[in-house]
Amino acid sequence: MALKAVAFGLCLVPLARLLALAWLDRLGANPVEFVTRSSGTWTLVLLLAALAVTPARRLTGWSGLARIRRMVGLFAFFYACLHLSTYVWLDQWFDWEAMALDVLERPFIAAGMATWLVLLTLALTSTDGMVRRLGRRWQRLHRLVYLAGALAILHYAWHKAGKNLLGEPLIYGLVLSVLLGLRLWWSLRAARRKNPPVSAA
Amino acid sequence: MLFRIAQSDTPASSEITPRSTYADRRRLMLTGALAAPWLAGLPARTHAAGAAKLAGRASPLSTTEKPTSYKDATSYNNFFEFGTEKEDPARMASILKTRPWTVAVEGEVLKPRSFGIDDLLKLAPMEERVYRLRCVEGWSMVIPWVGYPLAELIRRVEPTGNAKYVEFITLADKAQMPGLWSSVLDWPYAEGLRLDEAMHPLTLLTLGIYGEVLPNQNGAPVRVVVPWKYGFKSGKSIVKIRFTENQPVSSWTRAAPHEYGFYSNVNPDVPHPRWSQATERRIGEDGFRQKKRKTLPFNGYGDQVSSLYAGMDLRKFF
């Protein structure tokens, strides 16, 4: 259980850092922008980290890693909620009409909202009870995490696109592609083992 | 955080800068030369010890709104030549050498010539203009600039009848500007105005802020400030001013023509494709206790400038 405790602590570090910076008045000239960006960054990082757990487990053989996958995923959702709250409260001051217009007129915000909705669905169905209840459907439902990853990167890329700053979103995209690619390769290999080509000598 | 109290709008005769002060270029040069080693590496949080003073007489064109803190105005900058993060210019710009510096004036003028920085410092009496600055990204500041109307310089070079526009070119030196290695923009940074916009009394050829010469990250040693347009129109660290017959293409228009237009007048009714321009975050007003403010047409300078655009469809000419 030490692994879970360590993972829990590490996942809280970004939040602790934000609180410390806020306390020291070191959030910079535009604190709302800083908090929005920071929470968004950590959502994406933890989302990719959660997606990296299974490949890491398979590559290292450390089966214990499976225990932290749900926790890391839920922390990604936590930072996503922080990111959304910053937008709803500190940026828009609960102007629902303005936010509805944003979602309808600005693709990058729509992508962000969609990401959060997918993560919400995954969070709500993350409990042991839900795993039992949904059985085989749980596995299929939770493949939506790839969609969440892709939507999150799209949200970030669209936000940066107008200023030609696609460097960072591209890096995240590359990481997601590698993590997805690994899984694809493994599942293809498993399928080939089950049905070996007839012509194999 | 340092605060600067806004100066009163009506200048007392004692506040008017004596001619001897602004003409005392030797003293200014020496202070600048002595200040340079001190300025390099100093955090932008405090007024740089030894930064050359540059006083300007108060102007009725100043706003009475409270200026943004010096710390925020000099540590939150968009100056992509030094990096694309807001903290990059303050961190990196100390390597910029602002002396010697010349501004070449060419194109459709009868008297093309080069101006050294000292020529510019004594071309006309300095004024302090406290202007609102509205960035296209949705944040704004109030900055006490020091300079004089660009019209003073324009008059001296005598634009011909063919001169319809003015183009401003920023320094693009790879040796001093790490951001140039990135292709985020086509370098050098270019901006432009219509001639009547450039001649407008609000358009300021700017040499200082907060009573001192411009810090490097704010566009030293000379820049232009056009307060009724989005901030990117106010070119920094100018090395060339060209008078042209045809409309120049701004760097940001070249990069994303459907997002950044030539005019880029502040307009809450014309959204940016990716966000609304109806509100802005005034730096210094955090979101915890204060919501964003409503953006004003022409950044609140409509009375002075809207006549320049009479009859123009400002959605088409954004």
What confidence score (pLDDT) does residue B290 get?
82
Per-residue pLDDT tens for B64-93? 999 999 999 999 999 999 999 999 999 999
pLDDT score recorded for residue B273: 85
- Predicted confidence at residue B37, as pLDDT, reads 40
Residue B42: predicted pLDDT: 34
Average pLDDT over all residues of chain B: 88
Q: Are B170 and B190 a contacting pair, CB within 8 Å?
A: yes
Three-state SS at B24: coil
Closest Cα in chain B to A159: B274
In chain B, what residues touch A30 (CB-CB under 8 Å)? 76, 86, 139, 281, 283
Is 70 exceeded by the pLDDT of residue B59? yes
**B99 CA to chain A: closest CA distance, Å?**
30
The answer, yes or no, to whether residue B31 has pLDDT greater than 70, is no
pLDDT band at B286 (very low <50, low <70, confident <90, very high): confident
**Which band of pLDDT confidence, cut at 50, 70 and 90, is reported for residue B47?**
low
CB atoms within 10 A of CB A70: 18
Q: Is the pLDDT of residue B14 over 80?
A: no
Provide the pLDDT for residue B299. 97
Q: Do A30 and B139 touch (CB under 8 A)?
A: yes
Q: Are strands B165-170 and B238-244 parallel, antiparallel or unpaired?
A: antiparallel
Interchain proximity B139–A159, CB inside 8 Å: no
Chain B closest-CA separation from residue A86 CA (Å): 9
Residue B283's region, left for phi above 0, alpha for psi from -120 to 50, else beta, is beta
Say if A164 is an interface residue toward chain B (CB within 8 Å): yes
B160: domain CATH number is: 3.90.420.10
What pLDDT, on the 0 to 100 scale, is given for residue B50? 61
Q: Evaluate whether residue B318 is within a structural domain.
A: no
**What is the Cα–Cα distance from B65 to B72, expressed in whole angstroms?**
16
B6 part of a folded domain: no
Residue with tokens 């959204």: B271
Q: Does residue A155 lie within any of the structural domains?
A: yes
Residue A39 lies in a domain: yes
Cβ contact, residue pair A90, B287, below 8 Å: yes
In this predicted structure, the answer to whether residue B199 has a pLDDT above a threshold of 80 is: yes
**How big is the A-B interface in CB pairs under 8 Å?**
64
Helices (H) and strands (E) in chain B, counts: 9, 13
Mean pLDDT of A102-112: 93
**CB of B34 within 8 Å of any CB in chain A?**
no
Distance between CA B137 and CA B274 in Å, rounded? Answer: 10
In tens, the pLDDT along B217-274 reads 999 999 999 999 999 999 999 999 999 999 999 999 999 999 999 999 999 999 998 8
Residue type, B23: A
Whether B36 maps to a domain, the answer reads: yes
Q: Does B76 touch chain A (CB under 8 A)?
A: yes
Query: In total, how many domains does chain B have?
Result: 1
Name the more confident of B15 and B190: B190
Token pair listed for B144: 């006490």
As to burial, measured by CB atoms within 10 angstroms (0-12 exposed, 13-18 middle, 19+ buried), residue B119 is middle
Tell me whether residue A61 is in a domain: yes
Domain span including residue B250: 13-309
pLDDT at position B19 is 52
Residue B215 and residue B222 in contact, taking contact as beta carbons nearer than 8 Å: no
Q: Write out pLDDT tens, residues A139-184.
A: 999 999 999 999 999 999 998 876 778 888 999 999 999 999 999 9
Measured distance CA(B43)–CA(B31) in Å, rounded: 19
For chain B, say whether A32 makes contact (Cβ under 8 Å).
yes
Confidence (pLDDT) at B49: 56
Question: Which chain B residues contact residue A91 at CB under 8 A?
Answer: 287, 292
Give domain status of residue A194, yes or no: no
Of B289 and B87, which is predicted with more confidence? B87
**Percent of chain B surpassing pLDDT 90:** 78
Is the pLDDT at B10 greater than 70, yes or no?
no
> Tell me, what's the pLDDT at A196?
76
Q: Is residue A199 part of a domain?
A: no
B-interface mutation test, from A95, A104, A109, A164, most B Cβ less than 10 A away: A164
Q: Look at residue B41 and tell me if it is in a domain.
A: yes
A contact residues 144-163, partner B, Cβ 8 Å cutoff = 158-159, 161-163
CA proximity to B97, closest of B37, B139, B140, B146: B37
Can you give the pLDDT at residue B29?
53
Query: Any CB–CB contact under 8 A between A124 and chain B?
Result: no
Q: Which domain holds residue A120?
A: 2-183
Q: Is the pLDDT of residue B201 over 90?
A: yes
Tell me, yes or no, whether A132 lies in a domain.
yes
Tell me whether residue A41 is in a domain.
yes
Measured between CB atoms, does B286 come within 8 Å of chain A?
A: yes
User: Sorting pLDDT into bands at 50, 70 and 90, what band is B2?
Assistant: very low
Write down the pLDDT at residue B44: 40
Q: What is residue B25's predicted lDDT score, i.e. its pLDDT?
A: 53
Answer yes or no: are the C-beta atoms of B217 and B93 closer than 8 Å: yes
Residue B99: is its pLDDT beyond 70? yes
More confident residue, A14 or B22: A14
Distance CA B105, CA B222 (A): 14
Q: For chain A, give the mean pLDDT.
A: 92
User: What is the DSSP-derived secondary structure letter of residue B284?
Assistant: T
**Which residue from B72, B275, B283 is facing A106, i.e. has the nearest CB?**
B275
Residue A1 predicted with pLDDT over 80: no
Tokens 């030293």 found at: B220
Q: How many domains does chain A have?
A: 1
pLDDT for the residue numbered B12: 52
